[in-house]
Each structure stands twice: as structure tokens, then as C-alpha cells.
């Protein structure tokens, strides 16, 4: 038995991204921990989606390393939210989707309330994590 890929587990990511887009974010993205795009809002082209996914994955790794050192936290301590705020441009917020090695990222302008985005991302990350954990593994034939 092997775990199917996130893209196979989430064939239609609109149920995750739709509520995030509806609150007025610029871009929303679902990605795997290793930086592979699983789903992206229509506002992001393929190249931008792939670039953003790679950068968000790297940002998560850098944030984890910095937190482990600066907070003396165990390496396995999960990160709940990463927020990068640029005063004039807006905010990038990233949340893990449960224990499923997936992340949801959203970028939004200063006109969108951060607390609304945080609440919506947290709700959708929880829903996505629960959905991913309920997907059965798929057999790819006998293992040797």
C-alpha cells in the first residue's frame, strides 16, 4: 500500500480555495510540503503558482529552523501560522493543513482584515487536513 499524491487526493481544490477567494484575497494556493502545486486560484498563472509554492516551502523550512533555534523548540514542533506583512503591499499567510504535509497560502492587500483571512485559512486548513486524513491509501500492486 502506498499513499496517493496530494493531487490525486484533491482532484478539485475549488472547495478549499473558493471560501478563501470569496473574502477578497489576491491569490490562494494549496501546496505540498515539498513545494508542489496542488491547486491555485485563477489569479495565479502556472509559472507564478509554481514559483510561489517553491518559495512558500522554502519559507516554511526557514521559519522552522529559525524557531527551533530562537525558541529552543523541538524540531518536530508544528508551525501553526507563518505571516509576512509588508506595510504598503499586504500580507502573505501560510498555514499547514493538519498533519497531511500540505499547506494553504494566501496573499492579500491591506484592505482585507487579517483576522478574517486567518479565521478562513484556519477553517479551510482544518477541513482539508480532515479530508486528506480520511482518504484511504491506494494499492499499487503487491509489494516486494
Answer yes or no: is 142 within a domain: no
Domain count, the chain: 1
Q: Which tens digit of pLDDT belongs to each residue from 87-123?
A: 999 999 999 996 768 999 999 999 999 999 999 999 9
Is residue 3 scored above 50 in pLDDT? no
Find the mean pLDDT for residues 56-62.
95
Estimate to the nearest angstrom the gap between the alpha carbon of 50 and the chain centroid.
Answer: 13
Is residue 144 scored above 70 in pLDDT? no
Is residue 83 scored above 70 in pLDDT? yes
Rounded to two decimals, the pTM is 0.85
Query: In angstroms, rounded to a whole number, what is the distance separating the alpha carbons of residues 117 and 98?
Result: 17
- For residue 89, count other CB atoms closer than 10 A to its CB: 11
Walk across the sheet containing 90-96 and list its strands: 37-40, 27-32, 102-108, 90-96, 82-86
Answer yes or no: is 122 within a domain: yes
Any idea how long the chain is?
Answer: 144
Answer yes or no: is 139 within a domain: no
Query: In angstroms, rounded to a whole number, what is the distance separating the alpha carbons of residues 102 and 113?
Result: 24
Of the listed ranges 24-33, 84-93, 121-130, 132-141, the one predicted with least confidence: 132-141
Q: What is the CATH number of the domain that holds 96?
A: 3.30.450.30
Query: Which SS3 state, helix, strand or coil, does residue 140 take?
Result: coil
Higher pLDDT, 100 or 33: 33
- Residue 100: the pLDDT is 65
Answer yes or no: is 143 within a domain: no
- Residue 58: the pLDDT is 96
Answer yes or no: is 1 within a domain: no
Is residue 132 scored above 90 in pLDDT? no
Answer yes or no: is 141 within a domain: no
Answer yes or no: is 98 within a domain: yes
- Residue 76: the pLDDT is 86
Per the structure, the complete domain to which residue 89 belongs is given by 6-134
Amino acid at each position: 500500500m502506498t499513499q496517493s499524491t496530494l493531487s490525486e487526493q484533491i482532484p478539485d481544490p475549488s472547495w478549499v480555495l473558493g471560501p478563501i477567494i470569496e473574502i477578497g484575497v489576491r491569490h490562494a494556493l494549496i501546496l505540498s510540503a515539498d513545494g508542489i502545486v496542488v491547486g491555485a486560484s485563477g489569479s495565479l498563472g502556472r509559472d507564478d503558482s509554481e514559483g510561489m509554492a517553491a518559495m512558500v516551502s522554502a519559507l516554511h523550512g526557514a521559519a522552522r529552523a529559525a524557531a527551533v533555534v530562537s525558541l529552543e523548540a523541538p524540531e518536530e514542533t508544528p508551525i501553526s501560522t507563518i505571516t509576512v506583512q509588508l506595510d504598503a503591499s499586504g500580507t502573505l499567510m501560510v498555514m499547514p493543513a493538519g498533519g497531511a504535509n500540505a499547506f494553504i497560502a494566501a496573499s492579500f492587500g491591506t484592505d482585507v482584515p487579517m483576522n478574517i483571512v486567518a479565521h478562513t485559512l484556519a477553517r479551510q486548513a482544518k477541513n482539508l487536513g480532515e479530508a486528506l486524513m480520511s482518504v484511504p491509501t491506494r494499492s499499487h500492486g503487491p509489494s516486494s
